């Protein structure tokens, strides 16, 4: 088969690689008992069927040499060249690094492979062929290992094959993974499909004959192929949509392959004249291809036999690309500037996105999590104001769209127009909408966006930006806390010597002082303990306060001033929502920094057992921001009551963030408002005005 498309010198080079691999793996056997060399040979065979270049096939023959034999990457490079060595290294696992867990090892190996894949896409093709052969021979493994490999295949490798448009490989990986993961479900479903096929065989033949007859009448040429939906696809549809087997419409489908795009649409018209199309089930993936480059017309039809059947119409070239994806018409050149089929172009676009995810991911586990999210694109198609089509995963929001346009657009997004109407940023997008993003130069990403964004690009960029912002805020707050606690010892950070700082860094195991300050700022280290270390307070006599058992925070001379602009490292407790004018107290919470409570908050009793985490705080004078709080009104059920209340609150320069209404006795309703105010005086003015309304019987501020 090799000499059908490769030059003789390339075939000879492949044979030399086989001899080297056979010698390197001499004496090694797989779990099944067969000689190990049969595995790399089988992987090379799969790539040969895909008509891959000779260096890919050589790398397939050598892909386990680094991991499982005494030969290193330098030997591969010397014998077979830099290019082959790079491919082999990209597929090889990290064997010389110890990881804390199997999950971390998997994530780090995955990151290594994906980065190698960005440089040379053949890395993933070799890995997919390797995984496919392993899945074909999985039956000899222990049940627990079999399930682990099957799950990894279903969660990572089959979706990657799908993302690269390699449908034939994806389907086999999914069915093999399904069989290994859920053997009983697979067996039962296979039996049901077999029975249904027997019942419907005659029906499918009649449908194909009807279509042939109509095509002959219209003088349209095309081949008709009946196909059975794969087991895992049926299972996923039943599982996700809560359907019984009999409710799955497209267990069987008919594929019509024609010579041109124009014939595809003429064929669609002929089919719709022959059978009744099911409303809402037509999809034009020719005009708007899938994210992996797949193109075809899909429609579901009601037949005269009372059975719905799916019909796919595509050209011969589209069919080849649909089955082989980036491997169709394989022509490799290094780098991204390759002209290839639609699947190859889309694959390169996706790889650029993977590279961006890697650059902003905090660690391998986060990278793996975000790539997994990115691997399941059930797409929606939306338009930019200039008419360009953008493809996003189903459930994506306006923020996802903003980041898809450009990272800076997402970071500076303040509002969005959907079909020329202003809409909330968390609005879910649907097919055909036109999206316009409004930005402001000084705007920044909001942490709450992480609750609703769907794309990995948006999630990683928001996290990266917030990490940078939070670090700076944490360092600043940590310095303020240390200075405040150092006052108890008559010192400050300016007076602390470099040697004292070096000792503290060694004591707390940090590389630089900003990192230590950041940990203090987010509450992972108690500021008094760090302050004691900085001044060498371990040699000082024990303070009288400590002997009495009172809180060590009393050693500080003045409370910490709360500005309200500290960012994520200072938050206000949701249970009491304190506002300027309230007596407040701070609680140092690990990972969150300082959580500010009202001193009247009923939840403070829960913290009495941790006095070392309390901190005296006070409001900074002349605060310039608004703060949220709750008020509850008992109102009469009259028309316009909410509008009247909202108008008064707006007139008094306040804003309603949330409204919760609960009917009480048919005459009255309880209305809980979350409002923004500047301080207690501002809140008092609002409550006085609201109390003067006839429709309001009672009003009070609440602490939930």
Residue 557 has pLDDT above 90, yes or no: no
Distances (CA, A) of 338 to 162, 326, 331, 342, 357: 21, 12, 9, 11, 22
Higher pLDDT, residue 366 or 616: 616
Query: Which candidate, 306, 322, 215, 205, places its Cα nearest to that of 268?
Result: 215
For 57-61, 288-292, 543-547, 644-648, which range has the lowest pLDDT when averaged over its residues? 543-547
| Spatial distance between the Cα atoms of 296 and 284, rounded to a whole number of angstroms | 7
For residue 215, what pLDDT is reported? 84
Of 619, 652, 680, which residue is a domain's last?
619
The pairs formed by 380-385 with CB atoms below 8 angstroms and a separation of 24 or more are: 380/429, 380/430, 380/431, 381/288, 381/431, 381/432, 382/429, 382/430, 382/431, 382/432, 382/433, 382/434, 382/435, 383/432, 383/433, 383/434, 383/435, 384/434, 384/435, 384/436, 385/434, 385/435, 385/436
Within this chain, do residues 64 and 156 fall inside the same structural domain, yes or no? yes
Distances (CA, A) of 561 to 137, 495, 580, 610, 682: 66, 22, 12, 22, 21
Report, as an integer, the average pLDDT of 437-457: 81
For residue 265, what pLDDT is reported? 93
Report, as an integer, the average pLDDT of 505-510: 84
Residue 637 has pLDDT above 80, yes or no: yes
Report, as an integer, the average pLDDT of 413-433: 87
Within this chain, do residues 441 and 503 fall inside the same structural domain, yes or no? no
Residue 537 has pLDDT above 50, yes or no: no
Say if 637 falls within a structural domain.
Answer: yes
Tens-place pLDDT, residues 327-370: 665 544 333 344 445 666 666 666 666 666 666 565 656 556 65
Distances (CA, A) of 682 to 330, 628, 631: 70, 12, 13
Report, as an integer, the average pLDDT of 412-421: 88
Residue 69 has pLDDT above 90, yes or no: no
For residue 62, what pLDDT is reported? 92
Report, as an integer, the average pLDDT of 81-96: 76
- For position 665, which CATH number holds? 3.30.70.260
Within this chain, do residues 450 and 566 fall inside the same structural domain, yes or no? no
Say if 162 falls within a structural domain.
Answer: yes
In Å, the largest CA–CA distance within the chain is: 104
Give 212's Cβ-side CA count (13 Å radius).
10
- For position 406, which CATH number holds? 3.10.20.30
| Spatial distance between the Cα atoms of 169 and 435, rounded to a whole number of angstroms | 36
Within this chain, do residues 15 and 162 fall inside the same structural domain, yes or no? yes
Residue 33 has a CB neighbour count (10 Å cut-off) of 7
Higher pLDDT, residue 65 or 360: 65
Query: Which candidate, 500, 493, 495, 549, places its Cα nearest to that of 517?
Result: 493
Cβ-proximal residues to 446 (8 Å cutoff; 6+ apart), any chain: none
Helix/strand/coil (H/E/C) assignment for every residue in 614-671: EEEEEECCCCCCCEEEEEEEEEECCCCHHHHHHHHHHHCCCEEEEEEEEECCCCEEEE
Within this chain, do residues 607 and 656 fall inside the same structural domain, yes or no? no
Q: What is the pTM of this model?
A: 0.57
For residue 212, what pLDDT is reported? 86
Helix/strand/coil (H/E/C) assignment for every residue in 542-593: CCHHHHHCCCHHHHCCCCEEECCCCHHHEEECCCCCCCECECEEEEEECCCE
Of 559, 589, 619, which residue is a domain's last?
619
* Helix or strand run (H / E) with residue 225: strand 223-228
Within this chain, do residues 194 and 167 fall inside the same structural domain, yes or no? no
Give the N- to C-terminal CA distance of the chain in Å, as an integer. 75
Within this chain, do residues 264 and 304 fall inside the same structural domain, yes or no? yes
Residue 635 has pLDDT above 80, yes or no: yes
Which tokens sit at 150? 């099957």
Task: Label residue 214 exposed, middle or buried (CB < 10 Å: 0-12, 13-18, 19+).
Answer: middle
- In the set 26, 34, 49, 67, the catalytic residue is 67
Within this chain, do residues 478 and 576 fall inside the same structural domain, yes or no? yes
Within this chain, do residues 492 and 507 fall inside the same structural domain, yes or no? yes
Of 266, 292, 327, which residue is a domain's last?
327
Which tokens sit at 400? 């996802």
| Spatial distance between the Cα atoms of 326 and 122, rounded to a whole number of angstroms | 10
Instruction: Check the CA dihedral 152-158-161-162 and report its sign.
Output: negative
Report, as an integer, the average pLDDT of 481-501: 82
| Spatial distance between the Cα atoms of 57 and 80, rounded to a whole number of angstroms | 12
Say if 360 falls within a structural domain.
Answer: no
| Spatial distance between the Cα atoms of 442 and 699, rounded to a whole number of angstroms | 39
Pairing of strands 560-562, 584-589: unpaired
Binned at pLDDT 50, 70 and 90, residue 109 comes out as low
For residue 369, what pLDDT is reported? 62
Say if 359 falls within a structural domain.
Answer: no
Structure-token match 């997008």, residue found: 429
Residue 695 has pLDDT above 50, yes or no: yes
Within this chain, do residues 417 and 383 fall inside the same structural domain, yes or no? yes
Question: Within its chain, how far is the Cα of 224 from the centroid?
Answer: 39
For residue 542, what pLDDT is reported? 44
Question: What percent of the chain clears pLDDT 90, i.e. is strictly above it?
Answer: 18
Within this chain, do residues 658 and 533 fall inside the same structural domain, yes or no? no
Say if 253 falls within a structural domain.
Answer: yes
Which tokens sit at 619? 């409001």
- For position 114, which CATH number holds? 1.10.3210.10
- 656 lies in which domain range? 627-702
Binned at pLDDT 50, 70 and 90, residue 376 comes out as low
Question: What percent of the chain clears pLDDT 70, i.e. is strictly above it?
Answer: 81
Whether residue 482 contacts residue 520, with contact meaning beta carbons closer than 8 Å, is answered with yes
582 labelled catalytic: no
| Spatial distance between the Cα atoms of 254 and 222, rounded to a whole number of angstroms | 12
Whether residue 277 contacts residue 300, with contact meaning beta carbons closer than 8 Å, is answered with yes
Report, as an integer, the average pLDDT of 593-622: 80
Total domains, the chain? 5
Binned at pLDDT 50, 70 and 90, residue 690 comes out as very high
- In the set 68, 284, 472, 616, the catalytic residue is 68
Say if 355 falls within a structural domain.
Answer: no
| Average pLDDT of the chain, as a whole number | 80
| Spatial distance between the Cα atoms of 15 and 238, rounded to a whole number of angstroms | 47
Report, as an integer, the average pLDDT of 80-90: 87
Instruction: Check the CA dihedral 678-684-687-693 and report its sign.
Output: negative
Say if 351 falls within a structural domain.
Answer: no
pLDDT winner (highest mean) among 196-210, 412-426, 508-522, 524-538: 412-426
Say if 342 falls within a structural domain.
Answer: no
| Spatial distance between the Cα atoms of 396 and 404, rounded to a whole number of angstroms | 10
Within this chain, do residues 74 and 158 fall inside the same structural domain, yes or no? yes
For residue 378, what pLDDT is reported? 64
User: What is the DSSP track for 30-80?
Assistant: -TTSSBTTHHHHHHHHHHHHTT--HHHHHHHHHTTHHHHSS--HHHHHHHH
Residue 431 has pLDDT above 90, yes or no: no
498 labelled catalytic: no
Report residue 37: phi and psi, to 5°: -60, -25
Binned at pLDDT 50, 70 and 90, residue 547 comes out as very low
For residue 546, what pLDDT is reported? 41
For 158-162, 403-407, 646-650, 696-700, which range has the lowest pLDDT when averaged over its residues? 158-162
Residue 619 has pLDDT above 80, yes or no: yes
| Spatial distance between the Cα atoms of 3 and 10, rounded to a whole number of angstroms | 9
| Spatial distance between the Cα atoms of 333 and 339, rounded to a whole number of angstroms | 9
């Amino acid at each position: 088969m090799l000499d059908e498309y490769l030059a003789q010198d390339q075939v000879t080079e492949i044979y030399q690689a086989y001899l080297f691999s056979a010698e390197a793996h001499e004496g090694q056997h797989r779990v099944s008992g067969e000689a190990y060399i049969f595995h790399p040979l089988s992987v090379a065979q799969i790539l040969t069927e895909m008509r891959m270049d000779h260096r890919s096939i050589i790398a397939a023959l050598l892909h386990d040499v680094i991991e499982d034999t005494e030969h290193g990457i330098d030997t591969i490079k010397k014998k077979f060249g830099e290019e082959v060595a790079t491919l082999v290294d990209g597929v090889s696992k990290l064997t010389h690094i110890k990881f804390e867990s199997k999950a971390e090892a998997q994530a780090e190996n995955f990151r290594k492979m994906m980065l190698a894949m960005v440089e040379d896409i053949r890395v993933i093709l070799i890995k997919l062929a390797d995984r496919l052969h392993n899945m074909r021979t999985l039956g000899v493994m222990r049940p627990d290992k079999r399930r682990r490999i099957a799950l990894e295949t279903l969660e990572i490798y089959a979706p990657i094959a799908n993302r690269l448009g390699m449908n034939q490989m994806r389907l086999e990986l999914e069915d093999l993974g399904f069989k290994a993961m859920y053997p009983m479900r697979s067996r039962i479903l296979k039996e049901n499909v077999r029975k249904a096929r027997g019942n419907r065989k005659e029906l499918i033949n009649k449908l194909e004959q009807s279509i042939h007859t109509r095509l002959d009448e219209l003088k349209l040429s095309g081949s008709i192929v009946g196909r059975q939906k794969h087991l895992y696809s049926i299972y996923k549809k039943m599982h996700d949509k809560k359907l019984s087997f009999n409710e799955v419409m497209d267990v069987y489908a008919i594929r019509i392959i024609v010579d041109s795009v124009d014939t595809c649409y003429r064929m669609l018209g002929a089919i719709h004249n022959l059978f009744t199309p099911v409303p809402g089930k037509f999809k034009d993936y020719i005009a708007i291809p899938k994210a992996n480059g797949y193109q075809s017309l899909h429609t579901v039809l009601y037949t005269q036999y009372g059975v719905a059947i799916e019909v796919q119409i595509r050209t011969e070239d589209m069919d080849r690309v649909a089955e082989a994806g980036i491997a169709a018409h394989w022509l490799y050149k290094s780098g991204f500037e390759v002209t290839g089929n639609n699947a190859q172009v889309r694959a390169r676009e996706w790889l650029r996105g993977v590279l961006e995810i890697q650059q902003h991911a905090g660690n391998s586990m986060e990278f793996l999590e975000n790539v997994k999210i990115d691997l399941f694109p059930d797409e929606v198609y939306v338009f930019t104001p200039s008419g360009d089509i953008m493809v996003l995963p189903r459930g994506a929001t306006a923020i996802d769209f903003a980041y898809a346009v450009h990272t800076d657009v997402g970071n500076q997004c303040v509002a969005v127009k959907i079909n020329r109407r202003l809409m909330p940023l968390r609005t879910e997008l649907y097919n055909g909408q036109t999206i316009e993003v409004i930005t402001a130069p000084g705007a920044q990403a909001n942490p709450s966006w992480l609750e609703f964004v769907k794309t990995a690009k948006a999630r990683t960029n928001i996290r990266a930006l917030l990490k940078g912002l939070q670090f700076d805020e944490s360092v600043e707050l940590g310095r303020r806390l240390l200075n405040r606690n150092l006052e108890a010892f008559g010192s400050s950070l300016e007076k602390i010597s470099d040697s004292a700082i070096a000792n503290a860094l060694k004591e707390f195991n940090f590389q630089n002082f900003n990192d230590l300050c950041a940990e203090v700022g987010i509450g992972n280290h108690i500021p008094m303990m760090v302050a004691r270390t900085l001044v060498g307070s371990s040699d000082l006599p024990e303070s009288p306060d400590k002997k009495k058992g009172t809180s060590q925070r009393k050693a500080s001379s003045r409370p910490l001033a709360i500005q309200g602009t500290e960012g994520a490292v200072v938050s206000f407790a949701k249970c009491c929502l304190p506002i300027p004018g309230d007596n407040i107290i701070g609680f140092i919470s690990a990972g969150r920094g300082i959580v500010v409570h009202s001193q009247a908050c009923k939840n403070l009793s829960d913290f009495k057992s941790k006095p070392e985490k309390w901190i005296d705080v006070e409001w900074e004078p002349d605060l310039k921001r608004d703060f949220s709080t709750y008020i509850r009104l008992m109102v009469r059920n009259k028309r316009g009551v909410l509008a009247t209340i909202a108008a008064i609150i707006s007139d008094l320069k306040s804003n309603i963030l949330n409204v919760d209404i609960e009917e009480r006795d048919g005459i009255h309703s309880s209305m809980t408002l979350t409002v923004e105010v500047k301080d207690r005086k501002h809140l008092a003015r609002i409550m006085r005005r609201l109390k003067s309304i006839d429709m309001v019987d009672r009003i009070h501020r609440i602490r939930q």
